[in-house]
Amino acid sequence: MIDRYSNISYSEKIFCHIRYWKDFIEMTNSVKKAFENSNLLLWNVFNNKLPFKAKLQNGKEIELRSFNALYLVSKVYKIEHITFDDDDDIVRIGFTDKKRELIFHGGMNNGDLANIFVKNDYDFLKVEDKIIVDIGANIGDTAIYFAVKGAKKVIGLEPFHKNFEIAEKNISCNNFTNEIKLVQAGCSSESGSVKISTEDQSNIESVIKRSEEGENISLISLKDIIEQYQIPKDSVLKIDCEGCEYDIIENAADETLLHFSQIQLEYHSGYKSLKRKFESIGFEVKFTEPHATDVINTFFGNFRKTKSNSINGKSSHKIGYTGFLFATKI
């Protein structure tokens, strides 16, 4: 188990919190530009009083059911080729150069469409004609992004049944069933299974929390993924699994990681141990500066001991230090 504070220095943590508040101010400004009733909206969102009827600056009323929906709408509401339907939880993304439209069911309240398709978070990866292993496929948004960018094949792993079903629907309705193979499983340092609670399956993120009761989900090691799905050398690896990246990477054999020519992962508790691991086996490593996350939710969680945000009477929110790490085989 990784000590989240061993991966980031005290001075870095200070700058992480400065960046957090800078991001927070930027986000609130985006919300104010997008919504007429922005102050009341923000108050309800941060107090977990959802759903909430919000009014856009153009007069349209929409029902926001999650922070994810608030973030998405505030980022894309003026972008003509992106439209959303809050009633059916659908987001449509048009591509003038591709002469097509992508449809994402569950795209307002789940997934990461704004960061993937607007901010181009995965633009670092050169995926054309490559085989991609996508750990943490969520609703299929990154897998579809890679397919649009010309990936030869995407093997996507998603452990949660709800996310898996939405991902299957999105892959099918966008006609990528030949390019994307979806697997209902999580990735771990060892293959096997783990029991998770049904409440965790409603989480919008692909984070696996062990539970004494619930449903068993399959876990596949990175080595076994390579063998079972015949992943060729110099393929591409993407990981966004809300903390499991440390277990996967730090316990993987050198030859397993060297099977990939490009690796991009989102780290959640600092980057230093991951950077050391990759550099020790011959990867060139770059990373984005870490930002603190969940600061306000952690604060509010101390006062909100509801079933949905607490575990054994304690807040389930923890401050994280997140960013992207990019590893390229030299």
For 146-159, the pLDDT digits (tens) are 999 999 999 999 99
Q: What is the pLDDT of residue 196?
A: 75
Task: Indicate the domain borders of the chain.
Answer: 35-120
Q: What is the pLDDT of residue 8?
A: 86
Res 2 pLDDT > 70: no
Question: In angstroms, rounded to a whole number, what is the distance separating the alpha carbons of residues 40 and 7?
Answer: 38
- Of the listed ranges 22-36, 89-103, 104-118, 278-292, the least confidently predicted one is 89-103
Q: How buried is residue 108: exposed, middle or buried, by Cβ count under 10 Å (0-12/13-18/19+)?
A: buried
Which stretches does DSSP call E strand in the chain?
52-55, 61-64, 82-85, 90-95, 100-105, 131-135, 153-157, 180-183, 186-188, 192-196, 215-221, 235-239, 260-267, 283-287, 291-293, 310-311, 314-315, 320-329
Taking CA atoms, 180 is separated from 55, 106, 151, in Å, by 38, 18, 9
**pLDDT tens per residue across span 273-315:** 999 999 999 999 999 999 998 877 665 555 544 444 443 444 4
CA dihedral defined by 137, 138, 142, 143, rounded to 10 degrees? 50
pLDDT confidence bin for 206, thresholds 50/70/90: very low
pLDDT confidence bin for 203, thresholds 50/70/90: very low
Q: What is the pLDDT of residue 302?
A: 52
pLDDT confidence bin for 318, thresholds 50/70/90: confident
**pLDDT tens per residue across span 214-238:** 678 899 999 999 999 999 999 999 9
For residues 182 and 158, the answer to whether their CB atoms sit within 8 Å is: yes
Q: What is the pLDDT of residue 317?
A: 60
Q: What is this structure's pTM?
A: 0.90
pLDDT confidence bin for 213, thresholds 50/70/90: low
- The stretch 162-175 carries a mean pLDDT of 96
Res 3 pLDDT > 60: no
**pLDDT tens per residue across span 253-276:** 999 999 999 999 999 999 999 999
Res 25 pLDDT > 60: yes
